[in-house]
Amino acid sequence: MSQPTKQSLTQKYLPTDCWNMLSKTTSFGTTVYDCVKSALENPNSNVGLYAPDPEVYDVFHEIFHPVIAEYHKVDLATLSSVHDLGDANNLRDLPQNYQDAIVSTRVRVGRTVKGYPMAGKLSKEKRIELEHKIRDSLSGLEGDLAGTYRSLVDMTKEEKRCFN
Closest CA relative to residue 94, chosen from 109, 82, 105: 105
pLDDT category of residue 164 using cuts at 50, 70 and 90 = low
b/e string for 49-68 if b means 16 or more Cβ within 10 A? bebbbbbbeebbeeebeebb
Residue 150 backbone phi and psi in degrees, to 5? -130, 120
Query: In Å, how far are 88, 110, 143 from 140, measured between CA atoms?
Result: 13, 21, 10
Average predicted confidence (pLDDT) for the chain: 83
pLDDT at residue 12, as a whole number: 87
- Mean pLDDT is lowest, of 63-72, 109-118, 150-159, for 109-118
What percent of the chain has pLDDT above 70?
Answer: 86
Tell me the pLDDT band of 4, cut-offs 50, 70 and 90: low
Give the CA count within 13 Å in the CB-facing half-sphere of 28.
24
CA–CA gap between residue 12 and residue 16 (Å, rounded)? 8
Domain ranges across the chain = 9-72, 95-162
pLDDT bucket at 151, cuts 50 / 70 / 90: confident
Residue 78 confidence class, pLDDT cut points 50, 70, 90: confident
Mean of the pLDDT values across residues 58-71?
93
Measured between alpha carbons, how far is residue 42 from residues 37, 50, 98 in Å? Answer: 8, 13, 41
| pTM attached to this predicted model | 0.61
Q: What are 8-57's pLDDT values in tens digits?
A: 888 888 888 888 999 999 999 999 999 999 999 998 989 999 999 889 99
Burial class (CB in 10 A: 0-12, 13-18, 19+), 142: exposed
pLDDT at 156 over 80: yes
9-72 has CATH 3.40.50.300 classification? no
Burial of residue 72, with CB atoms counted within 10 A of its CB: 0-12 exposed, 13-18 middle, 19 or more buried: exposed
Q: Compute the distance between CA of residue 109 and CA of residue 112 in angstroms, rounded to an integer.
A: 7
